Amino acid sequence: MHPLIERVNARRDQMLEFLEILVNTDSPSTEPELSSVVSHIVGDRCEDLGAEVEYISQSGAGDHMKAVWRRDGDETEGLLILCHLDTVWPAGETDQRPFRVEGDRATGPGVHDMKGGVAQVIYALEEVLVDGEPPSRPITLLCNTDEEIGSRTSREAIESLALQSRAVLVLEPSVPPEGSLKTFRKGVGGFDVKATGRATHAGADHQAGVSAVEEMARQIQYLHSLTDYERGTTVNVGVVQGGSRSNVVAAECSAEVDVRVTSMEEGRRIEQVIRGLEPFLEEAKIQVSGGVERPPMERTEAIVELFRIARGLGDELGLNITEAGTGGGSDGNFTAALGVPTLDGLGAVGAGGHALDEWVSVSAMFERTALLARLLQEL
């Protein structure tokens, strides 16, 4: 075992205790007061490590936490680390499924996405900030509390900090089963489609009605036909609501549509198609709102070079580091779209994000903590 991994492994109990605190503190995206608690827990640890800590407060999300380590007067481009503290789980979930370690697996709400990664950041920074000395290059850690709901209140801060950085490291979970780092992600779009018809009695005056439900059924078939696996484009109608009673021709029906694309060019194309939907039924009406909100993280040469550095450092540590991509989005999508070299998936190795059986590998946490420490030292 490499000496750096051994040093991290020697703090196994402390790291797991910190992870337990994070996991057992509920932080749903939609309850700002709860997610703010975790933000301050992490902020306190950063202050202990000598950071200048700032909390960014706003309505609609918990406090975002920004921690900065830099030498006095150092204005050089630094490194930006991105984490999110919110989870998809409601308040009280940790009472039902508290943090547990069985063998090499740690489980609990949000342990994989992405509180395991947050714990790794703190302990990687402990390796970098030896004897309390500031790093040779500025390091900024931004932990937001609304990533799972689109980062609407934190996107501005993310992009502003990224433009001041030479590289961005994202502590989202790695890609199973090998724990691959992410060098590309799909862009994410969300659309709301509303069909309007004319309500009549379904028995006495059926022919005079215009069914919004029927109109939406045809729209759904068309929308799903837009999926093109060769292009990497998927369109999914995930939520549909309409009608009032079975004996009434439905006057209204709405649908929520998820779109994933591999390039902004494709994003613009599919957005134009969906926004241009026309009704199939005479006298029906269609309204569309929304668009591509997270640009894709495209696999650029700058991103590949970051991966090559990480792979080389992995070789040094005795780790086999591979690359992959995913259809899911992260805050790394925003920074990569600005042209800032971004490496994602540096967080926990495990599986089951957003699922009841999510887990992380404890031994891999120490390995990936060491890898992050080396990246912070070398970049």
Residues 355 and 258 placed together within one structural domain of the fold: no
Domain boundary among 294, 326, 353: 294
Domain boundary among 253, 278, 294: 294
Residues 287 and 341 placed together within one structural domain of the fold: no
37 Cβ contact partners less than 8 Å away, ≥ 6 residues apart? 25, 27, 62
Residues 12 and 129 placed together within one structural domain of the fold: yes
Residues 107 and 210 placed together within one structural domain of the fold: no
Contact 317, 370 (CB under 8 A): yes
Residues 273 and 332 placed together within one structural domain of the fold: no
Looking up residue 47, the CATH number of its domain turns out to be 3.40.630.10
Strand-pair partners of 144: 84
Residue 93: which domain range?
3-185+296-378
> Which tokens sit at 104?
């090499």
Rounded to two decimals, the pTM is 0.92
The angle at the Cα of 165, spanning 371 to 30, to the nearest 5 degrees, equals 80
Residues 152 and 213 placed together within one structural domain of the fold: no
Question: What's the structural domain count of the chain?
Answer: 2
Q: What residue ranges of the chain have pLDDT lower than 70? A: none
Residues 305 and 273 placed together within one structural domain of the fold: no
Alpha carbon distance 261, 307 (integer Å): 22
Instruction: Give the pLDDT of residue 338.
Output: 97
Which helix (H) or strand (E) is 87 found in, with range? none
Residues 90 and 164 placed together within one structural domain of the fold: yes
362 Cβ contact partners less than 8 Å away, ≥ 6 residues apart? 12, 16, 101, 104, 105, 106
Instruction: Give the pLDDT of residue 73.
Output: 87
Place of tokens 């967080």: 347
Looking up residue 235, the CATH number of its domain turns out to be 3.30.70.360
Domain boundary among 294, 312, 330: 294
Instruction: Give the pLDDT of residue 278.
Output: 98
Instruction: Give the pLDDT of residue 50.
Output: 96
Torsion of CA 78, 149, 118, 31, to 10 degrees: 120
Residues 155 and 81 placed together within one structural domain of the fold: yes
Residues 100 and 60 placed together within one structural domain of the fold: yes
Residues 67 and 207 placed together within one structural domain of the fold: no
Residues 151 and 38 placed together within one structural domain of the fold: yes
182-204 burial, b at 16+ Cβ within 10 Å, e below that, comes to bbbbbbbbbbebbbbbebbeeee
